[in-house]
Amino acid sequence: MSRLVLSSGELRILEGLRLNPRKSFSGRVRGERLTKKKGVSIEFADYREYSEGDDLRHLDWNVLARLEHAVVKTYRDEEDLAVHLLLDVSASMSFGEPSKLDYAKRLACAFAYVALAGGDAVYPRAVGARQQPAAALRGRSSFPRVAMWATGLAPEGTQALSSDLRAFASTGSRPGLAVIVTDAMDRDAAQGVRILAGRGHEVCVVQVLSEVELRPDLEGDLRLLDVEGRGAVEITANSITLKAYADSLALHNASLAEECLRMGGRYTLVVAGTPLDQVVKNVFKREGWVAA
Amino acid sequence: MSFQNAAALLWLIPLGGIIVALYILRMRRKDVLVPATFLWPERTDEVRANALFQRLRFSWLLVLQLLAMSLFVLALARPQTLQRGLAGTTTVVVLDASASMGATDAKPTRFDAAVEIVRGMIASANAGDQLMLIEAGPSPRVVFPLSSDPAAQRRALQAVRRSDAPSDIEEALRLATARVGEVDGSKIVLLSDGVFNEVENFASGKAELVYHKLGTQRKNVAIEALGSTEGPDGRIVYCGVKNHALDESRVEITILADGEPINSEVATIASNKTWGRTFPAPPGVKVIEARINSDDILSADDYAVTVIDPGASLRVLLVSPGDIFLERALSLDPRVTLDKASEVPESERAGTAGTGSYDVVVFDGAQETAVKARGVLTFGMAGASSGVVSLGRSPSFDFLRADEHDVMRGVNLRGVYIENVERVTAKPAGRVVAEGSSGPLIVVSETDKRQVFVGFSPLDSDFPLQTGFPIFVANALDYLAGSTVSDSFAILAGQQFQLPASTDQPATLTGPDGGATRVEPLQGRYIVSGVDRVGTYALQAGDREVTVYAQLRDDLESSVNSQDFVSIKKNKVAAVSDLRRYSDFWKPLALLALLVLGVEWWMYARRS
């Protein structure tokens, strides 16, 4: 994997794109993104009575001269967007060729690049493993740090996704766009999404699955061991069993997607290995995840 | 149902145990890491390798495997069921068609009951079972060969016919053995009442001999004797009637002379006793018949006949150490009543008191001596009374020529191998009718009696194997009997006989039932067979009509005593009491087991 995770060609594709959240969030520093807070910007919001101490630069002189009533203009403030980049590094992400984690890193970096280029604050965080959250990164110049962070991650975690999302929600982090790149191999993944959304985050789930999960090539009498240590199952891998597995996976994915959409978020399923430009074009752009 | 190999059923326990154990033993499965297990259903169906025990769970595969195993073990145990019928996979049925099988203690007769059994065997035969039927009459006949064609067998069965004569069971059994004696598991089923003489020359080989007895009673009264003799006051007729039943019987006996009743009386005859009467025959009568009327089970022996016409009977004495060919040839003449002796009885020698009992004396292998009989036929050893004079013996002989003579009509000695010939020269009264390189071969002479001398014994030649031999004997008897030729004969039912044919036209034999058959002439004689039922037959040959009376005179047949055992080469073969037979059905079971295994495989493949 390259040091920057993404190739220059892929970065060119991402150039000019901005994250397009469904709702607005308050920022901490002035940024390039409008908020509901009235502030100083070039975009007019409303009038209000002048009060002492108001910046006279915002006094509407025309109204004062015509009506002899002092009002000041208020403007929509432009602040940065908190983009929580939650990358699943649980052991299950090691499956597939390429591994789901490698592919997820590229997706996460793509999101980070778009966010940083758009002036948003990126909060990278690994879920599924106990890791200290990284500091907020701002500006395009911070992308190498994101890439370095992603490169250093390994699929070693055994934490359930839902419990990590619950823990993240309880930290009181700044509400923003929570982009979760995960395989969602947790029975309670939808519950974690619901909790996270309940804390004001707009949850966008990118579920990355490999071919071996979508169409497992198993045969015979097997004991299946959960890579994250959540028990074992004895099966006879035949057509009936594989059909039951496929049905169960589809139901699980559907419940996750439904929960995301119901909470005002987004959901998409990406097969590991799909070219990034196709994902950007066919999913992120078409479904409005990003805007030019 | 029973099992031929019931011990095989014990395999059910270990084999069933192994299969169940395979299911209750926990499988040692291959470990595979997966991203998550919660998506996978707990589902185990098959058993391959096992380690620890687990709870037995219901499985259709287990059920099918146990079922297939059970079916295989059942097939190994060779289950069999009792089925109607005696036949096996390869069976020859010997159907006794003798007179005693006409007894009516089985309805309608023993013979018909036996035919019904054969019909049942044909119907119950499995596909591929081979069946053959031999009708054991006076001459055994193959009704249908070994085959598995029920339709053809049923058609052929309609042609079986009982005779009123003793049957040649021994020959019929030998015929059966010749066909299946080398076939493993074959059967020879004898359907009979066991009323026949001991079978002395028979071995069933690999075939199993099964005797099924027909008949239960022995209630029969038979005419044992009917004849006539010249008495001081004229011809006397004698009649004997025997009661073969276990109880006394009341019998009405009627005697007819040329069809007219001359005597009728009712007699009560004790068990196993004979009633007898003599009475004068009306002058000039030719045919005496006797009929009895009783409540017995066999009618064939309720009739007897004797022909008094001198030309109708010919009493022949054969003086010989034994010559079956000559005996048979003599018996072909319907007139002949044959007696055998190793030497001439004193009463028959010339010069002794009284008249002789025989019309013709035949010397074969014995030196001719002077006898009272009006005709003498001598083979090989001339005597002082012969029409030839002996010149010694010649070890070899070549036939040269034969004269036209009644004795030589239809006889050709050319090519006959003869050795050890008596060289002779004819006396003045003698006429050489056949001559060879060493001199006269056959000489006929007529003085106060007629004589025929043949220079060799039949057993010293292959002449008995030639068709001309019985014709020569018949010609000789005709010559020796003189001109007394009758148009009425009494024979035993089933007896083959021959008569001179005056034309080349076929004769017509009309039986008691009106059925007619053609008899073609052969070398100047009609060889007549098929007179196998008691009654009066008419042989129409050109302008001549010969009446033949067929009768049953056989004490053994009349006994109608059905036997629980038949004697085969001193061994007793017991009658089977059950008409049913065991029939294997392991093959369908094995096929069913394969089918179940197929279904089990299909289910397994479908799940995999």
What's the half-sphere exposure (Cβ side, CA atoms, 13 Å) at B194? 22
φ/ψ of residue A81, rounded to 5: -105, 130
Name, in order, each residue with C-beta under 8 angstroms of A200's C-beta and a sequence gap of 6 or more: A25, A175
* Token duo for residue A232: 């074992």
B377, B360 contact by CB (below 8 A): yes
Question: Closest Cα partner for A95 from B36, B31, B35?
Answer: B35
Q: What is the pLDDT of residue B143?
A: 95
Least confident of A134-143, A251-260, B106-115: A134-143
Q: Which of B31, B35, B43 sits opposite A95 (nearest CB)?
A: B35
Query: What is the residue-wise DSSP string for B12-54?
Result: HHHHHHHHHHHHHEEE-PEEEEES-STTS--B----SSEEEE-
pLDDT in tens, B427-470: 888 899 998 887 888 999 988 889 999 988 888 888 888 888 98
B contacts of A159 (beta carbons < 8 Å) = none
**For residue A204, pLDDT beyond 90:** yes
Task: Please determine, for residue B580, whether its predicted confidence score (pLDDT) is greater than 90.
Answer: no
Distance from the Cα of B187 to chain A's closest Cα (Å) equals 56
Q: Which two tokens stand for residue B145?
A: 């060969």
- Check B37 against A230: CB less than 8 A apart: yes
Report CB contact under 8 Å: B32, A95. no
Q: Which two tokens stand for residue A40?
A: 């100083």
Cβ-based contacts of B33 with chain A (< 8 Å): 224-225, 227
Pairing type for strands B375-379 and B360-364 reads parallel
Confidence of residue B319 (pLDDT cuts 50, 70, 90): very high
Mean of pLDDT values over B384-403: 82
Looking at residue A41, what is its pLDDT? 52
pLDDT tens digits for B218-256? 899 999 888 887 777 888 889 999 999 999 999 999 999
Shortest distance between the Cα of B49 and any Cα of chain A, in A, equals 10
Q: What angle do CA B289, B290, B292 make, to 5 degrees?
A: 150
Q: Give yes or no for A42 touching B (CB within 8 A).
A: no
SS3 assignment, position A211: helix
Strands B360-364 and B314-319: parallel
Q: Measured between CB atoms, which of B32, B40, B607 is closest to A240? A: B607
- DSSP helix, strand, coil percent of chain A (3-state; round to 5): 35, 30, 35
If pLDDT is split at 50, 70 and 90, which confidence band does B485 have? Answer: low
Cα-based angle B106, B109, B112 (whole degrees, multiple of 5): 110
* Chain A residues close to B39, C-beta within 8 Å: 245, 248-249, 252
How many CB atoms lie under 10 A from the CB of residue B517?
15
Please say if the pLDDT value at position A22 is more than 60. yes
Coil vs helix vs strand at B496: coil
Whole-angstrom CA distances from B8 to B20, B72, B82, B339 are: 19, 10, 20, 65
Q: Is residue B357 pLDDT above 90, yes or no? A: no
CB distance B488 to B287 below 8 Å: yes
Looking at per-residue pLDDT, the higher value among A94 and A291 belongs to A94
Can you tell me whether residue A66 is helix, strand or coil?
helix
Q: How many pairs of residues across A and B have Cβ atoms under 8 Å apart?
A: 96
Q: Which residues of B touch A249 (CB under 8 A)?
A: 39
Prior bond of A98 cis (ω within 30°) = yes
Q: Give the gap in angstroms from C-alpha B183 to the nearest C-alpha of chain A.
A: 53
pLDDT tens sequence across B6-42: 888 888 889 988 888 887 776 667 888 898 888 888 7
Contact B29 A185 (CB under 8 A): no
Sort out which chain A residues have CB atoms less than 8 A from B32's CB and list them: 218, 222-225
Confidence band of B582 (pLDDT split at 50, 70, 90): low
Tell me the ipTM for this assembly: 0.80
Residue A34, CA atoms < 13 Å, CB-side half-sphere: 11
Distances (CA, A) of A90 to A101, A130, A153: 9, 10, 10
| Nearest of B544, B552, B509, B502 to residue B528 by alpha carbon | B509
CB contact (8 A) between residue A226 and residue B34: yes
Q: Which of B32, B48, B606 sits opposite A225 (nearest CB)?
A: B32
Angstroms from B16 CA to nearest CA on chain A: 23
Q: Which residue has the tokens 């020269």?
A: B425
For chain A, state the CA radius of gyration: 23
Q: Shortest CB distance from B32 goes to which of A186, A224, A240? A: A224
B80: region left, alpha or beta (phi > 0 left; psi from -120 to 50 alpha): beta
Average pLDDT over residues A29-45: 52
Using CA atoms, how far apart are residues A189 and A197, in angstroms rounded to an integer? 13
- Edge-first strand listing for the sheet containing B234-243: B221-231, B234-243, B274-280
Q: What is the mean pLDDT of residues A179-190?
A: 93
- In angstroms, the CA B421 to CA B357 distance is 31
Q: Between the CA of residue B313 and those of B334, B481, B486, what are the distances in Å?
A: 8, 10, 8
Residues of B in contact with A235 (CB under 8 A): 40-44
pLDDT value at residue B157: 94
Provide the edge-to-edge strand list for the sheet that holds B260-269: B260-269, B249-257, B287-293, B303-307
> Nearest 5°: CA angle at B452, between B448 and B458?
155
Tokens of A136: 């907020």
pLDDT at residue B496 tops 90 = no
Distance from CA of A8 to the nearest CA of B (A): 32
DSSP B271-317: TT-EEEEEEEPPTT--EEEEEEE-S-S--GGGEEEEE--GGG-EEEE
CA B378 to chain centre: 33
Nearest C-alpha neighbor of B446 from the set B424, B428, B430, B434:
B430
Identity of the residue in B34, B35, B48 whose CB atom sits nearest the CB atom of A221: B48
Check if the beta carbon of residue A137 is closer than 8 Å to that of residue A120: no
Query: Any long-range contacts for B149-156 (C-beta under 8 Å, 24+ apart)?
Result: B150/B122, B150/B123, B150/B125, B153/B122, B154/B119, B154/B122
For residue B371, give the DSSP letter: B
Decide which of A50 and B343 is more confident.
B343
Dihedral of alpha carbons B592, B594, B598, B603, sign:
positive
- How far A75 CA lies from chain B's nearest CA (Å)? 51
As a whole number, mean pLDDT of residues B206-226 equals 90
A252–B39 C-beta distance less than 8 A? yes
**Which two three-digit tokens encode residue B80?**
């069999």
Pairing of strands B79-84, A266-271: unpaired
Q: Tell me how far apart the alpha carbons of residues A124 and A5 are, in angstroms, rounded to a whole number.
A: 15
Q: Which helix (H) or strand (E) holds B425?
A: strand B419-426
* % of chain B residues with pLDDT over 70: 94
Please report which confidence band the pLDDT of residue B608 belongs to, taking 50, 70 and 90 as the band edges: low
Residues of B in contact with A185 (CB under 8 A): 35-36
Q: Where does the pLDDT of residue B49 fall: very low under 50, low under 70, confident under 90, or very high at 90 and above?
A: very low
Cβ contact, residue pair B36, A186, below 8 Å? yes
pLDDT above 50 for A1: no
Q: Give the pLDDT score at B350.
A: 87
Residue B128: what pLDDT? 80
Rounded to whole angstroms, the Cα distance separating B367 from B457 reads 11
Closest CA to B222 of B298, B287, B288, B305: B298
Does B437 or B471 have the greater pLDDT score?
Answer: B471
The shortest CB-CB distance from B43 to any of A216, A244, A249 is to: A244
Report whether pLDDT(A185) > 60.
yes
pLDDT in tens, B413-424: 888 888 888 888
Residue B606, min C-alpha distance to chain A (Å): 8
Do A249 and B607 lie within an 8 Å CB cutoff?
no
**Weakest mean pLDDT among B140-149, B172-181, B305-314:** B305-314
CA distance B182 to chain A (A): 56
pLDDT at residue A30 in the model: 46
Contact A187 B38 (CB under 8 A): yes
Q: Say what the pLDDT of residue B240 is.
A: 92
3-state secondary structure of B49: coil
| Confidence bin at A45 (pLDDT 50/70/90) | low
Packing angle between helix B468-481 and helix B324-331, nearest 10 degrees? Answer: 60
The contacts of residue B176 (CB under 8 Å, 6+ apart) are: B92, B94, B132, B134, B188, B207
**Would you call B45 and A236 a contact, using CB atoms and an 8 Å cutoff?**
yes
In chain A, which residues have their Cβ closer than 8 Å to the Cβ of B48? 220-221
Phi and psi (nearest 5°) for A96? 100, 165
pLDDT value, residue B283: 85
Among A93, A222, A256, the strongest candidate for a mutation testing the B interface, having the largest count of B CBs within 10 A, is A222
Cα–Cα distance for residue pair B455/B423, rounded to 1 Å? 7
CA distances for B263 relative to B260, B277, B290, B539, B551, angstroms = 9, 10, 9, 29, 20
- Judged against a pLDDT cut of 80, whether residue A135 lies above it is answered with no
pLDDT band at B391 (very low <50, low <70, confident <90, very high): confident
Give yes or no for residue B212 having a pLDDT over 80. Answer: yes
Between positions 94 and 113 of A, the ones with CB within 8 A of B are 95
Interchain proximity B36–A226, CB inside 8 Å: yes
> How far, in Å, are B265, B417, B421, B438, B461 from residue B396 at the CA level?
64, 9, 7, 8, 11
Contact criterion met (CB < 8 Å) for B43 and A240? yes
B47: confidence class by pLDDT, cuts 50, 70, 90 = very low
| A234 and chain B in contact, CB less than 8 A | yes
A185 touches B: beta carbon within 8 Å: yes
Smallest CA–CA distance, residue A93 to chain B, in Å, is 8
What residue has token string 């009374």?
B385
Q: Can you read off the two tokens belonging to residue B582?
A: 């065991």
Chain B interface, Cβ < 8 Å to A: 27, 29-46, 48, 606-608
> From the list B34, B44, B48, which residue is nearest A227 (CB)?
B34
Residue B69 distance to chain A (closest CA, Å): 24
Q: Is the pLDDT of residue A120 over 60?
A: yes
CA–centroid distance for A187 within its chain: 20
Encode pLDDT of A52-61 as tens digits.
Answer: 766 787 788 8
Q: What does B459-492 look like in DSSP terms, one character per residue?
A: GGBSGGGSTHHHHHHHHHHHHHHTT---SEEEEE
- pLDDT of residue A292 exceeding 80: no
Average pLDDT over residues B323-330: 89
| Cβ proximity of A46 and A38 under 8 Å | yes
